[in-house]
């Protein structure tokens, strides 16, 4: 199913911020914003849920600790018990370094993998920026078309007030 | 070919702010995971020594001693390479004297910590009342490898004290020379820890002198070659500065330069 979106281009990050604020105030739906670098304050402006990546990282890290401790416990008490200077089989302190390294390994890999999956990024994927230059020095804002005569009316006026350097309507198949 | 490779590893990045925001979360969490990893890695390496009974290695100070030493040698190495790359690749506008001065202060701080570790280690060896331990340290400082010990102390503790002076911190040639000396000093630290303890253990009958073989020298040269090959390949084909991070602060840089 196709839908119409409005693509506005900006030369400055402050113009993009102003446009995001103006669009949100009017209740229009922002599809996404595009920038050549991270804009830290845009999370609050764009709205939406906080990222759950920290939870994913914690779960993967905890799994790493659990697996490493479990394996070492099994190996030293069940599979291949060795008497090392009369110490108990389940010498927990000796398991800490491996458990820590496993936590970092699984937490790190799990986090990056979850991020790639969530953002639908993978090696070899063709980059489709909404405007030329948004990975260089341009900024873009994508707004779901709020009405039939939108570009002729409010949206065009508001975006032009925010110093949009380009405005166009597009038909898209799926969320870009 | 190069364009195709960059496009392949570009992961289809389109500059979406939602992707950027998630990227920042990943960046922060990976930094949080990597920082304790530095402590863990060097503590475990030092524990490989400390868990033995060899005099000079069997010491509880080893984990913090190795961690501070690693930060000192790491900072000095980064400064050495960075100053060369900065000059060769004309990055003076991006890596400013302010960055270099901040790094020299970190070298100075870790150098003082390493000096404290040397002093505590020596004091403990003499104070503990174990004659093998005290002999090992007196032998390190005054024995056949004493020259290496004093090179280590001079390069790692005394020379970096010059960074107390602002004029030295701002003279890039002086910073480069001091950092090279710290690299030399840290190489001698590892050499002294390993060789002096193994040369003189519990049994005088097993004492010996150490001389590197051709294989060992070639391995050392090979390790330099491998590192510099990777470093130069990286400098040649990949951006050495994260461009997106520079773009984010370039306005502040301009206004600072105009002020």
pLDDT in tens, B218-247: 999 999 999 999 999 999 988 889 888 888
Could you state, in order of their start, the residue ranges of all structural domains in chain B?
A: 37-202, 211-259
Residue A126 located in a structural domain: no
List residues bridging with B16 in a β-sheet: A34
Compute the average pLDDT of residues A58-83: 93
Residue A47 located in a structural domain: no
Average pLDDT over chain A reads 85
Same domain, A57 and A97: yes
CA distance B13 to A115: 13
ipTM of the complex: 0.87
A48 pLDDT above the threshold of 80: no
Is there a contact between B17 and A107 if contact means CB atoms under 8 Å apart?
Answer: no
Q: Which residues in chain A have their CB less than 8 angstroms from residue B10's CB?
A: 125, 127
Residue A12 located in a structural domain: yes
pLDDT tens, residue by residue, B192-228: 999 998 888 888 888 888 889 999 999 999 999 999 9
Q: How many structural domains is chain A composed of?
A: 2
CA distance B162 to A165: 54
If one compares A42 and B218, the residue with the highest pLDDT of the two is B218
pLDDT tens, residue by residue, A97-151: 999 999 999 999 999 999 999 989 899 888 888 888 888 888 988 888 766 655 5
**Residues of chain B below pLDDT 70:** 252-259
The reported pLDDT for the residue numbered B257 is 57
Same domain, A75 and A106: yes
pTM above 0.80, yes or no: yes
Q: Which residues in chain A have their CB less than 8 angstroms from residue B34's CB?
A: 104
Whether B190 contacts B199, CB under 8 Å: no
A43 pLDDT above the threshold of 70: yes
Same domain, A60 and A96: yes
Same domain, A111 and A57: yes
Residue A24 located in a structural domain: yes
Residue A109 located in a structural domain: yes
Residue A110 located in a structural domain: yes
The reported pLDDT for the residue numbered B259 is 55
* Torsion angle defined by CA atoms of residues A33, A36, A39 and A43, in that order, rounded to the nearest 10 degrees: 30
The reported pLDDT for the residue numbered B26 is 94
Q: What is the CATH number of the domain that holds A168?
A: 3.30.70.260
Same domain, A143 and A97: no
Nearest by CB to residue A97, choosing from B12, B44, B244, is: B44
Is there a contact between B21 and A115 if contact means CB atoms under 8 Å apart?
Answer: no
Nearest by CB to residue A37, choosing from B10, B37, B244, is: B244
Is there a contact between B17 and A135 if contact means CB atoms under 8 Å apart?
Answer: no
Q: What angle do CA A73, B32, A102 make, to 5 degrees?
A: 20
Is there a contact between B40 and A97 if contact means CB atoms under 8 Å apart?
Answer: yes
- The boundaries of the domain holding residue A87 are 53-118
Same domain, A104 and A59: yes
Same domain, A64 and A112: yes
Largest alpha-carbon pair distance within chain B?
72
Residue A156 located in a structural domain: yes
């Amino acid at each position: 199913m196709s839908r119409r979106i409005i693509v506005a281009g900006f030369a400055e990050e402050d113009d993009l911020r102003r446009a995001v604020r103006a669009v949100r105030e009017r209740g229009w739906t922002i599809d996404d914003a595009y920038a050549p670098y991270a804009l830290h304050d845009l999370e609050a402006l764009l709205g939406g849920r906080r990222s759950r990546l920290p939870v994913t990282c914690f779960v993967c890290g905890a799994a790493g600790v659990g697996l490493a401790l479990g394996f070492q416990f099994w190996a030293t008490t069940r599979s291949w018990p060795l008497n090392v200077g009369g110490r108990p089989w389940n010498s927990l302190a000796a398991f800490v370094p491996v458990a820590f390294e496993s936590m970092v390994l699984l937490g790190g890999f799990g986090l990056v993998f979850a991020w790639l999956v969530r953002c639908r990024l993978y090696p070899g994927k063709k980059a489709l920026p909404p405007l030329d230059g948004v990975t260089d020095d341009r900024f873009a804002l994508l707004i779901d078309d709020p009405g039939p005569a939108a570009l002729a009316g409010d949206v065009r006026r508001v975006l032009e007030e925010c110093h949009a350097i380009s405005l166009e309507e597009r038909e898209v198949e799926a969320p870009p | 070919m190069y364009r195709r490779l960059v496009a392949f590893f570009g992961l289809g990045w389109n500059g979406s702010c939602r992707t950027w925001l998630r990227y920042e979360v990943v960046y922060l969490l990976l930094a949080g995971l990597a920082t304790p990893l530095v402590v863990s890695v060097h503590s475990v390496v030092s524990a490989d020594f400390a868990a033995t009974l060899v005099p000079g290695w069997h010491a509880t100070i080893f984990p913090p001693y190795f961690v501070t030493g690693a930060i000192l040698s790491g900072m000095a190495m980064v400064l050495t390479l960075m100053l060369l790359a900065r000059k060769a690749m004309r990055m003076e506008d991006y890596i400013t004297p302010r960055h270099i001065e901040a790094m020299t202060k970190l070298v100075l701080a870790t150098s003082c910590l390493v000096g404290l570790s040397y002093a505590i280690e020596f004091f403990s060896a003499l104070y503990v009342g174990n004659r093998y331990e005290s002999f090992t340290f007196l032998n390190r400082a005054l024995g056949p490898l004493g020259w290496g010990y004093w090179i280590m102390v001079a390069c790692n503790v005394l020379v970096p004290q010059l960074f107390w002076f602002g004029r030295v911190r701002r003279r890039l040639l002086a910073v480069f020379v001091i950092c090279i000396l710290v690299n030399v000093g840290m190489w001698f630290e590892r050499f002294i820890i390993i060789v002096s303890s193994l040369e003189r253990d519990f049994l005088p009958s097993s004492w010996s002198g150490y001389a590197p073989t051709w294989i060992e020298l070639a391995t050392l040269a090979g390790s330099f070659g491998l590192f510099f090959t990777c470093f130069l390949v990286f400098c040649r084909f990949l951006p050495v500065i994260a461009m997106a991070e520079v773009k984010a602060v370039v306005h502040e840089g301009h206004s600072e330069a105009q002020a």
